[in-house]
Amino acid sequence: MGRQKVKLQYIENNTARKVTFKKRVAGLLKKAEELQILCGVIVCIIVYGPYDEAPFVWPANHAEAARILLEYKSKPEMEHAQRKFSQEAFLKRSVTKSKEKYLRLLSRNREMEMGNVMVDLLCGKPVQQVPYNDIADLIWVIEDKKRSMQPRVRFLEAAAGNAPAANLDAYQQA
């Protein structure tokens, strides 16, 4: 039987919150141990909980945990910064990616609009009905289509003139 989706919100019931905390800490420790064994990485976990006076430390050998923390603190600050990933950095990267995706979609949408205008013109729509601000984009789309078709045109011209097969290689590379 599958698990139910859990709402991530504060648990009001003290008993349920304490039980959930203990279970989640146990799951976290299990994952840390699996990560250490399967991937051969150094793992140290310190959990400050509201239900215990002292923090919970893993590995249970406090000397090992202290060694791991000392090793981490002894590394240069530059190396710390490379490995840290804050919420702010995550959000900045996410916003940057979203902006880039938006700009790509905007560009593609504009290119498709100009493609539709080009089809309308080929079907007989008068050029005078094309808005003035669309003319520059339309010219760009036409030039881009022309550039992408040039290798094919050269190949077909060479094929019509029975040119050597080297032109086929040139077409396939273009």
Tell me the CATH number of domain 14-83, given options 3.40.1810.10, 3.40.50.1100, 1.20.1050.10, 2.40.160.10. Answer: 3.40.1810.10
Can you give the pLDDT at residue 106?
Answer: 92
Q: Where in the chain are all domains bearing CATH 3.40.1810.10? A: 14-83
CA distance 79 to 28: 25
| Per-residue DSSP letter, 127 | G
Can you give the pLDDT at residue 96?
Answer: 93
Whether this prediction's pTM lies above 0.85 is answered by no
Can you give the pLDDT at residue 169?
Answer: 53
List, for the chain, all residue ranges whose pLDDT scores fall below the cut of 70: 1-2, 78-85, 162-174
Q: Count CB atoms within 10 A of the CB of residue 55.
A: 10
- Closest C-alpha to 133, from 108, 104, 113: 113
Q: Which residues pair with 71 in a beta bridge?
A: none
